[in-house]
Amino acid sequence: MSVLIFAELDEGKLKKSSQEAIFYGSKVAGMLGTSATAVVIGAADQGELATAGRFGATKVLHAADSKLNEVNGMAYASVVAAAAQQEGAKVVVLAKSSLGDAMAARLAGKLKAGLAPNVIDLPDLSNGFRVKTSIYTGKAFAFNELKADVKILAIKKNTITPEETDASAQVDAFTPTLNDGDFVLKVTNTEKATGDILLPEADLVVSAGRGLKGPENWGIVEDLAKALHAATACSKPVSDLDWRPHHEHVGQTGIKVSPNLYIAAGISGAIQHLAGVNSSKVIVVINKDPEAPFFKSADYGIVGDVFEVLPRLTKAVQAL
């Protein structure tokens, strides 16, 4: 019996959130006195897969059928379910993401498992199997007792800090029988987010709103992001106006982020935007309106003109 972790790939590399999930799964395996096995789907180099061992996995099951190269939540859930059954896994771990969300409920149905989303801490095994989860977009916590024989834990991003070793995982080919019914949905086109640092995986985020007055002024946001090695983001009105691409929109109807640092420049702080960012560990708000609602949620606030503050902040960061 092992703990099974689904590890996502991005262009053949393990995602940061998957590294977190593997590390978390290895810790749970240690608590249960068993081993941690990762399952990876899609094309990837064997050497890259072996790096899962750095985060605690002892073995990697690699499903490399060409039909699985296109991301497919239905097919991926079936593959992970087959891996869980093969390994006799009683705990399945995955990162909470758009793909993880698409898979988790299907996995629960296939494995007749209990599911806990947004898990933020290791389970309490002192009296059953109890996990702490984030609810109400990070405004509160819940403690969930999972009583099903199989448990599925969807780990909230950036809440687990993995520790690396120099270990290497054994990589085994995994060839489950694929169900044609899982491929009734065909992917005809894929548009990927671009940028040096992708928003869902970012530790640092620099975001801006209509206070920038137009897309031609976004250079000062990008300059600060580059100096910080951060991702860029925007509010919904900005993406609606086509000032910035939709994949940079954070908020209730956009991407939800939980970086170590979120800098918001020229964003008033509507509740819909806060719903996507209030899991950030530190929020810095820059706005010339001292009554901007966002200041109530900020850890640090700067009352000032973004066109003056951002360039000065960039110079300060570059000086460091």
Note the pLDDT of residue 137: 73
- Please determine, for residue 193, whether its predicted confidence score (pLDDT) is greater than 70: no
- The continuous run of DSSP H or E covering 294 comes out as none
Please give the angle made by the CA atoms of 21, 22 and 24, to the nearest 5 degrees: 65
Q: Region 203-207: what's the mean pLDDT? A: 96
The domains found in the chain, sorted by start residue, are 2-183 (3.40.50.620), 199-319 (3.40.50.1220)
- At residue 168 the predicted structure's pLDDT band, cuts being 50, 70 and 90, is very high
- Please determine, for residue 35, whether its predicted confidence score (pLDDT) is greater than 70: yes
Q: Which residue has the higher pLDDT, 36 or 140?
A: 36
- At residue 139 the predicted structure's pLDDT band, cuts being 50, 70 and 90, is confident
- Please determine, for residue 202, whether its predicted confidence score (pLDDT) is greater than 70: yes
Note the pLDDT of residue 196: 63
- pLDDT tens, position by position, 234-284: 999 999 999 999 999 999 889 989 899 999 999 999 999 998 998 899 999
Q: Region 187-191: what's the mean pLDDT? A: 72
Note the pLDDT of residue 2: 84
- The continuous run of DSSP H or E covering 210 comes out as none
- Please determine, for residue 98, whether its predicted confidence score (pLDDT) is greater than 90: no
**Contact in structure between 85 and 53 (CB atoms under 8 Å):** no
* DSSP-assigned letter for residue 90: S
- pLDDT tens, position by position, 51-77: 999 999 999 999 999 999 889 999 999
- Please determine, for residue 296, whether its predicted confidence score (pLDDT) is greater than 80: yes
d(CA 110, CA 152) in angstroms, rounded, equals 11
Weakest mean pLDDT among 180-184, 198-202, 207-211, 294-298: 198-202
Which residues make up each annotated binding site?
Answer: 210, 266-273, 287
pTM score of the predicted model? 0.84
- At residue 138 the predicted structure's pLDDT band, cuts being 50, 70 and 90, is confident
Mean pLDDT over the full length of the chain: 93
- Please determine, for residue 174, whether its predicted confidence score (pLDDT) is greater than 90: yes
Count how many Cα atoms sit within 13 Å of the Cα of residue 209 in the half-sphere of its side chain. Answer: 23
Which residues make up each annotated binding site for FAD?
Answer: 210, 266-273, 287
- At residue 148 the predicted structure's pLDDT band, cuts being 50, 70 and 90, is very high
- Please determine, for residue 50, whether its predicted confidence score (pLDDT) is greater than 80: yes
d(CA 50, CA 48) in angstroms, rounded, equals 5
Note the pLDDT of residue 191: 67
- At residue 158 the predicted structure's pLDDT band, cuts being 50, 70 and 90, is confident
- pLDDT tens, position by position, 219-229: 999 999 999 99
- Please determine, for residue 22, whether its predicted confidence score (pLDDT) is greater than 80: yes
